[in-house]
Amino acid sequence: MTDAPDTPHHDAPGPAAADPDTPRAAADLAPADPTVLHPVPGQPRVVLLKPLVTSPLIEVGEFSYYDDPEGATAFETRNVLYHYGPERLVIGRFCALGTGVRFLMNGANHRMDGPSTFPFPIMGGSWAGHFDLITGLPGRGDTVVGNDVWFGNGATVMPGVRIGHGAVVAAGSVVVDDVPDYGVVGGNPARLLRRRFDDADIARLLALAWWDWPLEHLTARLRTVMSGSVDALEAAAPHRP
């Protein structure tokens, strides 16, 4: 469902008609349901994250999903690690997370300013009397993922990273730094391979923010959103006062 290649090769869409979406009867334009746990019939490996997560430290937008043939519903415990707060994980709408995508949170941090990085106090005994040495360690803040981000199989996101809208993270990548809007990154550590669009079109896409369109409007224009040009998307946008 979301197993990206080692290096994503999704190119910028080519020219398209102003509105390639064929008009349909209203009955044929019912949006998908963002509240169901398993949106794909017969595929329990795919879960929508918004109706799944319960932690107040995790916020997920509608239609973002995780795909895993083994325990997709355990996302909060198997894929969001060392998450003790107060830092939050925020994932936008319409994000696709391949199998094994993991977010390492600030609770994984160890001291690095002394001779040893080992967290002795958590072992108990009299060592617990030194717990002050492992509390209040510097963190990088919330981990924030924009809208319409595609994560390939086994990608790892380190604490405090911010991933821009429309970005692609290649399979197996370890993301240690922020990713720009519509950037394609890959490797360990992940580096920017290219941008999906030029700067001018990225600015237009961000202004259009199709992920915030009313669902009925979006549903009627899915073909434009998925395969149209930026010009076509602009022409299909809702009229604004």
Spatial separation of the C-alpha atoms in residues 234 and 86, rounded to whole Å: 39
Catalytic residue (one of 83, 110, 130, 165): 110
Is 110 labeled as catalytic in the residue annotation? Answer: yes
3-state secondary structure string across the chain? CCCCCCCCCCCCCCCCCCCCCCCCCHHHHCCCCCCCCCCCCCCCCEEECCCCCCCCCEEECCCCEEECCCCHHHHHHHCEECCCCCCCEEECCCCEECCCCEEECHHHCCCCCCCCCCCHHHHCHHHHHHHHHCCCCCCCCCEEECCCCEECCCCEECCCCEECCCCEECCCCEECCCECCCEEEEECCEEEEEECCCHHHHHHHHHHCHHHCCHHHHHCCHHHHHHCCHHHHHHHCCCCC
Active centre residues (catalytic): 110
